[in-house]
Structure 1
Amino acid sequence: MSNWQSPEATARLNKRYAAERRFKLLGLAAIVLSMLFLAVLLFTMLKNGISGIDWSFLSGSDSTDPSTAGVWSAVKGSILTMLVTLALAFPMGVLAAIYLEEFAPRSRWVDWIEVSINNLAAVPSIIFGLLGLAVFIQFLQLPRSSPLVGGMTLALMTMPVIVISGRNAIQAVPPSIRDAALAVGASKVQTVFHHVLPLALPGILTGTIIGMARALGETAPLLMIGMRAFVSTPPGSVTDPSSVLPMQIFLWSDEVDQGFVQNTSAAIIVLLFVLIAMNGVAIYLRNKFETRW
């Protein structure tokens, strides 16, 4: 029998405690370093761009004159693009996750689909831009540089993330919930949509937040479908030519006029605010539908 008060045992315990303290310090250092980079970024953007945010900047559109250029056209284009993305990616992603997890029979074909979805989540975003250019613009002849095409392209990129997170959230629902619903006479569809899906919805919304946040900051796929065009008027609908905030920031950062430096920083601040507001609404909905057991 081991003696836990022997010098050897005490030395082993001290070694384990020392390793645990080093791991905690390493994790704390990683958090501090990450927050430091974020603080430097926010300080730099606020220092360079906060003085350029006024009503004329928030309500104006793109211009060759930095003193009259604004972000409203890009903000409205981003909102319309995100609405199209959410309207397509969320229901299709959730339904795909439900089918794969609850209804699909185990077969080689289903396994191949699951592997393909996992691989699509890691595909570079510019590939989706090339796909959107080939399918939506060249083949379907949809309007170029429009929020409709931009939203459809970003929906292709976002959907695998929603499917993966949705499947994980559905798997996390205890099997006893399904068994209890089936035991009282509920059908398979009723069990899934009345009991499993409401419990999995917070996890699904978490994946949706991640996917939409990634889509909001993308420029490469939108660059391929022509949303880098100079647009001086806000879009009236999802089929009108438009730009988006990340693309507007990219265009202004490439200008030689030093006046656009302030506009670039101010537009980044607006983009961060839109992202925080969108995530805040999604987190509120997630917490509202969250159920504890």
Structure 2
Amino acid sequence: MTRGSNPGPWQSPEMTRRLARRHAAEKRFRLFGMGAIGLSLAFLALLLVIMLKNGLGGLDWSFLSGSDSTDPSLAGVWGATKGSFLTMVVTLALSFPMGVLAAIYLEEFAPRNRWVDWIEVSINNLAAVPSIIFGLLGLAVFINTFHLPRSSPVVGGLTLALMTMPVIVISGRNAIKAVPPSIRDAALAIGASRVQTVFHHVLPLALPGILTGTIIGMARALGETAPLLMIGMRAFVASPPQGFTDPSSVLPMQIFLWSDEIDRAFVVNTSAAIIVLLVFLLAMNGLAIYLRNKFEVRW
């Protein structure tokens, strides 16, 4: 028998069967993944169709420019939309810089000891704490202790910032850790200080990943109702807030209140408010993605 006629180990019947099983498993996994994506998109499409069907008829200028009212024909979402915007401004202004600075310190400057390890474990645990616990914390600290105005965007923003900050810290640390050590070594080799290395070289490369975590955290904060219930933002507010300390509502809370109304005419208002909330969320995420792509450094 010639050498070429002897089948190698990859052409043996046993190996052929093993490869066939592997290819079949990969094919099943791809089909399972495509099915999961299709099912998710189907649920999303069903939600959008139902909301558009029920809510498009209620979207008009009076609804978009009005505030809450006991009369469904006069009720609008401008007050809740403005309250959501002011609350998100406070949340982003506090959680983003503090979360990024905490991530930079823990990843680049903090010594490796038990105290730092305890802080890291605490931050990871805070990211999994139920949101209503942050509402209780906001009620106890910001309202009962510091006597800040109840139902105001400043208190809502402070409470949501506490909830969002651990997500930003965790994503920021992962993004900073993903920057190759050679970037740091090269910067230090040409005479840059530790601070210059971090802020001039490491941070620009990690910024897209940090912004991704910020998008996730802010999207979660925008849709929260449980912590805002605890600080009184479910109150009936008939006029839009004029500042950060005025009483206001937010879009998720407004949707919750209208969905609990006995008058069936509020069903249209609820669906229309959900459409406004989705547009608000898409606009906020679109802006964040644009900024992430704009500041992304390719290397």
Q: Is the TM value for this pair above 0.5?
A: yes
Aligned to 1:25: 31
Q: Structure 1: where are the runs of 5+ without partners?
A: none
d(CA) in 2 for partners of 1:201 and 1:6? 51
d(CA) in 1 for partners of 2:86 and 2:8? 68
C-alpha deviation, 1:291, in angstroms: 1.3
- Given the alignment, which residue of 175, 189, 205 partners 1:169? 175
- Given the alignment, which residue of 61, 69, 72 partners 1:63? 69
Moved more, 182-191 or 273-282: 182-191
Aligned to 1:213: 219
- Given the alignment, which residue of 96, 106, 110 partners 2:112? 106
The yes-or-no answer on 1:97 pairing with 2:109 is no
d(CA) in 1 for partners of 2:115 and 2:159? 26
Structural mapping, 1:7-46, within 5 Å = 7-46=13-52
- Given the alignment, which residue of 250, 256, 263 partners 2:256? 250
C-alpha deviation, 1:110, in angstroms: 0.1
C-alpha deviation, 1:23, in angstroms: 0.5
Aligned to 2:184: 178
d(CA) in 1 for partners of 2:201 and 2:19? 47
Question: Which stretches of structure 1, 4 residues or longer, exceed 2 Å deviation after superposition?
Answer: none
Aligned to 2:73, the other structure's residue is in SS state coil
Which has the larger Rg? 2
C-alpha deviation, 1:233, in angstroms: 0.3
Moved more, 189-198 or 213-222: 189-198
Structure 2 counterpart of 1:64, one-letter code: T
Aligned to 1:50: 56
- Given the alignment, which residue of 207, 227, 232 partners 1:226? 232
**TM-score, structure 1 length as denominator?**
0.99
Any idea what the Cα deviations from partners look like across 1:213-271, whole Å, max 9, x if unmatched?
00000000000000000000000000000000000000000000011000000000000
C-alpha deviation, 1:10, in angstroms: 1.2
Moved more, 136-145 or 177-186: 177-186
d(CA) in 2 for partners of 1:199 and 1:70? 43
Aligned to 1:267: 273
d(CA) in 1 for partners of 2:10 and 2:207? 48
Aligned to 1:118, the other structure's residue is in SS state helix
d(CA) in 1 for partners of 2:9 and 2:98? 61
C-alpha deviation, 1:3, in angstroms: 2.3
**TM-score, structure 2 length as denominator?**
0.97
Aligned to 1:139, the other structure's residue is in SS state coil
* Identical columns (%): 82
C-alpha deviation, 1:114, in angstroms: 0.1
- Given the alignment, which residue of 239, 245, 249 partners 2:245? 239
Q: Structure 2: where are the runs of 5+ without partners?
A: 1-6
d(CA) in 1 for partners of 2:8 and 2:151? 73
C-alpha deviation, 1:17, in angstroms: 0.6
d(CA) in 2 for partners of 1:172 and 1:2? 42
The yes-or-no answer on 1:141 pairing with 2:150 is no
C-alpha deviation, 1:2, in angstroms: 5.1
C-alpha deviation, 1:6, in angstroms: 2.0
Structure 2 counterpart of 1:198, one-letter code: P
Aligned to 1:153: 159
C-alpha deviation, 1:30, in angstroms: 0.4
C-alpha deviation, 1:289, in angstroms: 0.8
Aligned to 1:243, the other structure's residue is in SS state coil
d(CA) in 1 for partners of 2:239 and 2:271? 22
Aligned to 2:185, the other structure's residue is in SS state helix
- Given the alignment, which residue of 125, 133, 139 partners 1:127? 133
C-alpha deviation, 1:292, in angstroms: 1.6
The yes-or-no answer on 1:188 pairing with 2:194 is yes
